[in-house]
Structure 1
Amino acid sequence: TYANLKIQHHIREANTVHLPQVRVANSVTNEFKNALRFFQDAVTLGEAEFLNKGQQRLKAAMQALNQLDLEREEDLHLLKQQQRCQAELAQYIEKTSTVYPKLISNMEDKALLEEAGKLFKRGELLRDHLIQLQEEIYNQVKKQLDEVQLASARRLRDNIITAFSIALIALIAVYLIVRRFILYPLQETVAFARQFGAGRFGQRIPVRRRDEIGVLALNLNYMAERLQNTIRELEHQQEHLEELVKERTRELEEDIQRRLQAEARFKAAFHTNPATMVISKLENGEIVELNDAFTRLFGYTREEAIGKTGYELNIYLEDDSREVIKESLKTTGRYFNSDFKLRNREGETLHTVLACELLKIDDVNHILVVIIDITEQKRMEEKLAEAQKQLLENAHLAGKAEVATEVLHNVGNVLNSVGVTVSQLYQTIEHSRIKYLDAAVAKLKENAQVDSKLTSFFAKMSESLLREHEDITNHINRLRDFTQHITDIISLQQTYSRNVEFKEHIAIDEIVENAINIHRASFERHGMQLEFIPSKLPPRFWQRAKILQIIINLIRNAKDALLESQAPDKKLKIWIVHSEDENMVHIHVKDNGIGISKENLDKIFQHGFTTKKHGHGFGLHSCANIAREMGGDLTVRSEGEGKGAEFILSLSYQDEPLPAGV
């Protein structure tokens, strides 16, 4: 009883005192670790929000630390450590509330950065003190639990000794009872069994009691009597045994005949099956039978394959393939793989559906393997996946165009506001009264009473203000021109981002001019000439967006070639040639830039080919594909490096009638 009370006392003390201390110590350590992480994020990212979260975690850690109840006599050393941690934590909270806010507002102050680094190291030291306090509290709880475990072990030992003593006494008493009431009757039963085994079935056991032993004697006597009757019946049935043996022999012969017929049907199905079928031994993989489909699939004759293993024929693509099949067959009796890779005689990889079944032939485990070739199906699936990938890329590009249209629309709205502001500013400058200042100065000069120095000062001020007024007016005019130019470019880009399949009734000259207007300011800024000779052809139905995309790309490439060129007069010339008999127009884009070498002329339109340092090799390839989609062509001519290049976009057209009402 004393041991039980002591164990209960230790358990109650662990649950009510030490375990809450462990939970509180864990909470203090976790909150302080989170605070250090938030302070580190605040210094790294420069975000005050993480600083506030770190201060909150410090306060939570202090609150949890104050909740530790260490007033007992055996906790005095922990109480001193708690008080030391409280003092350090209070000082750390005070320092972080002053240093980190200053550092967030001025991240370039090296003194603050150095002080913050010291403060962070101080926080790591305080974290180690808190972890040490947590470990000491945990060790005290572990010590308490070890005492409980030791007391339980002692109690268990005493219980075992007591139980063993009681069991020994009970065993002796049971032995005496069994000897008197069970062993003596059983000896009589054993004597009866010996007589019974010797074939003397007329013997009987005397029944003196009505307990279990008496019931056993009655049943044995009854069994002896039944056995005598059974022997007599067997003697009567023995004469019919020969007829039963003959009947069973006939049934076995019929079963053997059915098995032979089933085997013949299996062989016929095995050899005529269009799927590849193989029978091999489970242990060593030796092939014992195969059909003609195996020869067609792998290229080995029957004589070459029989008696060999799959490894010897080199049909497994992976070295452990058969071991995987073997393990599955031993575990589940079957194996299936919808994409199992094999190799034929020529070394070609075959994609197959593989099914294996475990079967026994002459008490030896074999594997029935069925192989269906799906290599062609896999190739079609890969082509389908590639087509789906291309479709996704096209959808992604369409999404980009839609986003670009929305962005251009928003930028256009802002530019409209800028244009209105510039117009208002121009009106204010235009109606400024500063131009009357010159007339006022003239009046002052006519008045002899006004000081000449003052008159000269006002004259110079008037001249300077009028000059500034003129400069401001010129800058505003240029700003209006630039704003209008940007608005025109956005309008063209919005047209460019429309549905590319839509045909518009428009002059080819207008499409080319739109592309030129996008780049004109860039050419003027770099001092390069841009000449366009219009064809003055009548409007026809063109896929405006696609043609615009190609011309813009060609002009951009020509500009890059001119920038890299050392020619003194950098020039780009664009003109259009009309072939009326072929219903074709040819747009020529010619520059005197760096040119194209002869070996690169044949590769210029290949996907991924580029001569630019930061190019991706997609622009000209995409332009050539777009030209072919419209029934046209994109070609290039160049006499070599340093001699410029000429791109020719050939487009066909049909004289389609305008819709009614247009």
Structure 2
Amino acid sequence: MSIPAIALALLLAALLLCLGLLLSQQRHLRAQQQRLLGLETALEASGAAPWEWFVAERRIVLSDAYYRQLGYAVGDFPPEDFAWRQLLHPDDKSRAIDNVKRYLKAPETAYFNEYRMRTTDGRWRWILARGRVVKRDAEGQVLLLVGTHLDIDAMKRQQMAYVESQERFQKIYETTPDSMGITRISDGLYLDVNASFSRIGGYSREEVLGRTSLQLGVWVDPQQREQLIETFRSEGKVDSMEMAIRRKDGVVVHGLMSIRPLSVNGEDCMLFIYRDISEWRRLHAEAERARAEGVAAAAASRAKSEFLSRMSHELRTPLNAVLGFGQVLQSNASLDQRARQQLDGILGAGWHLLQLINDVLDLSRIEGGHLHVAVQPTELAPLLREALDMVGAQAAAAGISLAVEGLPALRVKADALRLRQALLNLLSNAIKYNRRGGHVWLRVNQPSERELDVLVADDGLGMSPTQLQHLFEPFNRLGREREAIDGTGIGLVLSRHLIEAMGGSLTLSSAAEQGTEARIRLKRA
């Protein structure tokens, strides 16, 4: 073979070798492209958004997925580190930047950072940034950091909600007035108790943890404990089971026990809640006693009313006969002066006794709720004049002058019979508890368009503040019984009940040795 032929053969062999190498490189590049395409697909599927940070240049290369992750169009913000800073949540900015600085000083481990970034609609999303150093300069300074952004907003919010839920439960657990704790089902050991457990049971937390209720001796009735366990085993829970426990000092506490299953570090446990109802039981027992006493008092009141009604009839029948015969004797002209005085005393005492019987019966009816009044429009002036006429003789005998001031032609809402009865009581008291030469005034005021006051005032003995405190106590004559003044101590009480039954009110003001003023307030008709 000639030299040119040999050279041509060598050249052809070299060309074939180069062509083989090119074909091999192309196959390698295609395989590498396939791997890169698969990696990009995997990253996109995982939600991760790649980025590159050229630290010295302060330049960031962002993937399209990075922009989409925050809702932005590609290129909406420049790929520079200051743009990243501007997107950080104000509360997270300092911490996130400090994490970056610490990592660049000692970049031996993987970069890891969590923060919130502002989305295109102004909301905040939690992002997890991870990366590694891939290039350094001759002095070892970081030149290139490569990593990914991962959207962890949903996971982070779930985590925060769980933490908040735990914190909320812990606050309830520690502040509730109910005794709460956790015991292990396998051996019954206390794993935890709250402050109210110590307050109710008397044991400190250190005395309880690692021990059982049997060791502490809290069960007053062991059968209640067995019933509690059986209910929990059969139903998986216990709701408000009443049971008694013994405090450390031996005092028995009654309460309601509720239990729910709970897992603690993979162990089956029970969360118990015990509510102290000792005070409620005491109040309930007192209420029951009060109810029983009220029933007994109502029965006694009915019996009293029935007794008074019968006695009233039995007393008034012979008393009416006495008064009748006395009035007949008054017409006998043959009686001498002494006999006539004695007869007047008998009749006076009889009429007083009859009034007492009537007042006691009325008061009994009021207390029993059986006294009814017929409230209707009533002309006031004629009724007041009639009451004055009826006490005129009493006032003259006592040397008391009566004066009336302004009787307007108005009508009030009242029962005429009962209003007259109350007025007679007040006028009679103003005369009786006065002094010879004293005065009694009857006048009418109009405090408003809807109301009217009837005032009975005197300048008599008056009352001290102590006497006023006991003014409306039945049969309490405030010491007047020692002054030989007729009375029963129930007229004023009866009058107030009558006025209030008509929708009005009765009040008194007084000062010792300066007189008394009684005020009846009624509604205008």
The question of a shared fold, defined as TM-score above 0.5 by the shorter chain, is answered with: no
Q: TM-score, normalised by structure 2?
A: 0.39
The structure with the greater share of residues assigned to strand is 2
The structure with the greater share of residues assigned to helix is 1
